[in-house]
Structure 1
Amino acid sequence: MANGNKLLTGMLLGAVIGAAVSLLDKRTRGDVIQSGKKVSSKIKGYIEQPTMLTTDVKKKIDEAKDIVQEVSEDLSFVNEKVKELKETTPQVVNMIQETRDRFISKRE
């Protein structure tokens, strides 16, 4: 168990050091500050109007459902096309073989 704690501690320490080093870049610092302000503003808005949070969450859930539905439809379409290919490929191969055999028999 002590090794697990050392691993977790090392990972956290590495993450903190990495974040601190990345903040040495002026542009990165500016981006972090801007992001922090946006998050802070959004949290204040949610505190002032809790129903806004539930509305936003419902909206995101609906968007996620729509995306899942689209992906599901796309996968169904691709699956159907793969089935069609599996069915037509042997037919095409047979047609090609028949055509080849016909031309070879005419040559001889």
Structure 2
Amino acid sequence: MTRKNQFWKGMLLGAIAGGTISLLDKHTRSVMRENLQNASSQVSHILRNPGEISKKVKRTAVKIKTTVEQVSEDINYIVGKVDELTELTPQVTDRLKETKNAFSESKETALLEEIIEEDDNDLIKQ
């Protein structure tokens, strides 16, 4: 248990040392100063206007809810169309088979009639 405390203590000290060393660079110091000023002004704005933040959060929640509802409706619509297609596909397949059979039968009938007609013509010629 003592080793664990020393580990985290060492991590904290290392982070502090690393941060301090990085602040030796002038550009890093100026960027950090700007970031700190921005963060502190935002925090003070939030503390002075908590109602504004809660309104923004509520608006965002309403937008998210509306988007989720729209996506849900879209998914339900797509699922319905897929169901219609799965029901329709066997019907279309059956109709195509019936049509094919009807055309095949009519071709066969036409061929038979043609053969019979040719035979009749041959008999008449003789």
CA distance in 1, matches of 2:44, 2:102: 80
Moved over 3 A (4+): 39-44
Gap runs ≥5 in structure 2? 1-34, 109-126
The one-letter code sitting in structure 2 at the alignment partner of 1:77 is Y
Q: May I ask how many residue pairs the two structures share in their alignment?
A: 76
For residue 89 of structure 2, what is the aligned residue in structure 1? Answer: 89
CA distance in 1, matches of 2:90, 2:68: 34
The one-letter code sitting in structure 1 at the alignment partner of 2:88 is T
Gap runs ≥5 in structure 1? 1-35
Computing the radius of gyration from Cα coordinates, the structure with the larger value is 2
Indicate yes or no: 2:72 matched with 1:65.
Answer: no
State the superposition RMSD in angstroms: 2.7
TM-score (norm 2): 0.52
Using the aligned pairs only, state the percent identity. 32
Shift of 1:42: 4.6
Within 5 Å, give how 1:97-108 maps onto structure 2: 97-108=97-108
For residue 51 of structure 2, what is the aligned residue in structure 1? Answer: 51
CA distance in 2, matches of 1:42, 1:67: 29
Shift of 1:48: 1.5
Q: Secondary structure at 1:63's aligned position in 2?
A: helix
Shift of 1:43: 4.0
